[in-house]
Amino acid sequence: MGKRVGMEVSIAAAEAVKQANVDVISAYPITPQTHVVEHLSELVANGELDAEFFCVESEHSALSVCVGSEATGARSFTCTSSQGLALMSEITYIASALRLPIVMIIANRALSAPISIWNDHSDVMSIRDCGWIQFFAENGQDVYDHVFIAYRLAEDRNVLLPAIINMDGFTLSHVIEPIEFIEQEKIDRFLPPYQPVHRLHPDRPVSMGGIALPPIFTETKKAHEVALQGSMPKILETWKAFGDMTGRYYQPVETYKAEDAETIMVIMGSFGETASAAVDLMREEGRSVGLAKIRLWRPFPFEAFKQATLHAKQLVVIDRAISIGGPGGPVASEVKAALYGEPIRPVVYNFVAGLGGRDVSPSDFIKMVDKAEIEIEEGNREGYEIYGVRE
């Protein structure tokens, strides 16, 4: 068993990137991502990590550098937040369509305006359809572990897609947690050097990023869609291999006391631990409440989600982003789409909570479950509201 160390999650994430033996780091600083790349910069400057660190002039360039370096076969890393991700968004679509297995951590933060440096999921939801594999971390250990999982998976010849690890800004990035470190030799066995299928090399020239005319563009999108959907078995296989190495087994949808629950809360990210505490409090009162945590956002785990939730009477989906003018939060939208084909399905009640860093405590989760159960009892089957907003 590896060493257990109390460490700020951002620093642990940077240490994981070092242990993953990356060749290139390219980043532009933005709160709350800064500690990750500051620490990586130190590791490179001190000679503890043999990598190129590119201090670029924008996030657009940060990911563009990674596209170039990854295209030559160099294992590349970047990290951003909020406005930085928005500026980078153009390149996110290019990195995935070129099938370049870059790994990016996003320290999730609200998008302006008004300016907020604090957490919600609006940044990553703006690039929901960018064609990357997308994980949500519940705690610091998840972030650390998923750096290795993401690289091994992304670089698999049957996958070849970039991967995002979502880490809630401040709520995770800036807290000190116990992290169990994995011995380097184990990581080296788990994560062999990257062997690209196609790369930019003078001995065997290829062209990347060409134009596709209307007769072939649709075929390229189909190939990308099949690659992302088809990565699911590899994701499960990679988590299994990681679990066999560390004892920490991950699932696309993880549940807590949900097996027999009539009401299941559905969340993503660091809401998980707080909502688990709320489940315990409600269970003590004899209430039939459980929790489903979506760890894998893309490809969306439709089957696993249905398996975890179909038996419930109602789902209380708590989104950390708002889809203004849409049918509710983005997670609730997906959940409703996942269940639509089922003849008997739970009622979905949707809250948007925790925007721009507002705390959501166990008692808030209990209040949301209370409200949803009453509303559904009274026949409201289309419930959607922003939680805790002052009238």
Interface positions with another protein (CB under 8 A):
97-100, 160, 197-198, 205-208, 210, 212-213, 215-216, 219-220, 222-223, 226-227
Nearer Cβ to another protein, position 115 or 226?
226
What is the smallest separation between the CB atom of 100 and another protein, expressed in angstroms?
Answer: 7
CA distance 348 to 346: 6
Nearer Cβ to another protein, position 55 or 212?
212
Residue 283 C-beta-side C-alpha neighbours within 13 Å:
15
What is the smallest separation between the CB atom of 76 and another protein, expressed in angstroms?
Answer: 15
What is the smallest separation between the CB atom of 104 and another protein, expressed in angstroms?
Answer: 18
What is the smallest separation between the CB atom of 164 and another protein, expressed in angstroms?
Answer: 18
What is the smallest separation between the CB atom of 97 and another protein, expressed in angstroms?
Answer: 7
- Phi, psi for 215 (deg, rounded to 5): -65, -15
Nearer Cβ to another protein, position 58 or 218?
218
CA distance 79 to 128: 17
Specify the long-range contacts of residues 59-62, CB closer than 8 Å, at least 24 apart. 59/28, 59/30, 59/84, 59/85, 59/87, 59/88, 60/87, 60/88, 60/90, 60/91, 61/26, 61/28, 62/26, 62/27, 62/28, 62/88
Query: How do 176-180 and 163-168 pair as beta strands?
Result: unpaired
Say if CB 265 and CB 320 are below 8 A apart: no
Nearer Cβ to another protein, position 206 or 344?
206
CA distance 102 to 160: 9
Nearer Cβ to another protein, position 97 or 187?
97
Nearer Cβ to another protein, position 197 or 344?
197
- Phi, psi for 381 (deg, rounded to 5): -105, 5
What is the smallest separation between the CB atom of 153 and another protein, expressed in angstroms?
Answer: 15
Q: What is the largest CA-CA distance in the chain?
A: 70
